[in-house]
Amino acid sequence: MSVGSKKLSEVVKPFIAELKPYEPGKPIEEVERELGISGSVKLASNENAIGPSPKAVEALRQCVEGVHRYPDGGSFALKKALADKFEIRPQQVVLGAGSDEILELLAKCFLAEGDEVIFPWPSFAMYPIVTKGVGAIPVAVPLNADFEHDLAAMAASINEATRMIFLCNPNNPTGTGMGQHALDDFMQQVPEGIVVAIDEAYFEYARRSDFPDALAWVRKRPGTIVMRTFSKIYGLAGLRVGYGLTDVETAGYIERARHPFNVNLPAQVAALAALSDEAHVEASRKMNAEGIAYFEKELSEMGLRSWPTEANFLLIKVGVADCYDQLLKQGVIVRPMDGFGLPGFIRVTIGSPNENQIAMTALRKVLEAAR
Contact set with ligand PLP (CB under 6 A) = 46, 98-100, 124, 168, 172, 199, 201, 229, 231, 237, 242
CB of 46 to ligand PLP, least distance (A): 5
Write down the least CB distance from residue 350 to ligand PLP, Å: 14
Q: Which is nearer to ligand PLP, 346 or 366 (CB)?
A: 346
To ligand PLP, the closest distance from the beta carbon of 178 in angstroms equals: 13
- Identify whether the C-beta of residue 120 lies closer than 8 Å to the C-beta of residue 143: yes
Work out how close the CB of 47 gets to ligand PLP at its nearest, in angstroms, rounded to a whole number: 9
Q: How far apart are CA 320 and CA 318, in angstroms?
A: 5
Reduce the DSSP state of residue 44 to 3 states and report it. Answer: coil
Which residue number, 199 or 355, has a Cβ lying nearer to ligand PLP? 199
48/250 with CB nearer ligand PLP:
48
- 8: burial class by Cβ within 10 Å (0-12, 13-18, 19+)? exposed
Cα-flanking dihedrals φ and ψ of residue 237, to 5°? -55, -35
Single out the residue of 328, 277, 307, 369 nearest to residue 54, CA to CA: 277
How far is CA 112 from each of CA 11, 24, 39, 251, 310, rounded to the nearest angstrom? 19, 27, 47, 19, 34
Task: Number of helices (H) and strands (E) in the chain: give both, helices first.
Answer: 15, 15
In the complex with ligand PLP, which residue's Cβ is closer, 175 or 366? 175
**Residue 227 backbone zone (phi > 0: left; psi -120 to 50: alpha; other: beta):** beta
**Residue closer to ligand PLP, measured from CB, 143 or 366:** 143
- Give the span between the Cα atoms of 21 and 317, in whole angstroms: 25
Q: Is the peptide bond before 353 cis (omega within 30 degrees of 0)?
A: no
The nearer residue to ligand PLP, 178 or 366, going by C-beta atoms, is: 178
- Cβ–Cβ < 8 Å for 350, 291: yes
- Least distance to ligand PLP from the beta carbon of 101, Å? 7
Smallest distance from the beta carbon of 175 to ligand PLP, in angstroms?
11
- Cβ-based burial of 253 (10 A; exposed 0-12, middle 13-18, buried ≥19): middle
Nearer to ligand PLP, 264 or 357 (CB): 264
Q: Cβ closer to ligand PLP: 199 or 298?
A: 199
Which residue's CB is nearer to ligand PLP, number 114 or number 341?
341
Cα–Cα separations (whole angstroms), residue 322 to 318, 344, 370: 10, 7, 10
- CA-based nearest residue to 230, from 258, 267, 265: 267
CB of 145 to ligand PLP, least distance (A): 21
Q: Compute the least distance from the CB of residue 121 to ligand PLP, in Å.
A: 13
Q: Give the residue closest to ligand PLP by C-beta.
A: 98
Secondary structure string (H, E, C) spanning 199-226: ECCCHHHCCCCCCCCCHHHHHHCCCEEE
Q: Which residues contact 352 (CB under 8 A, 6 or more apart)?
A: 49, 50, 287
Smallest gap from residue 23 Cβ to ligand PLP (A): 12
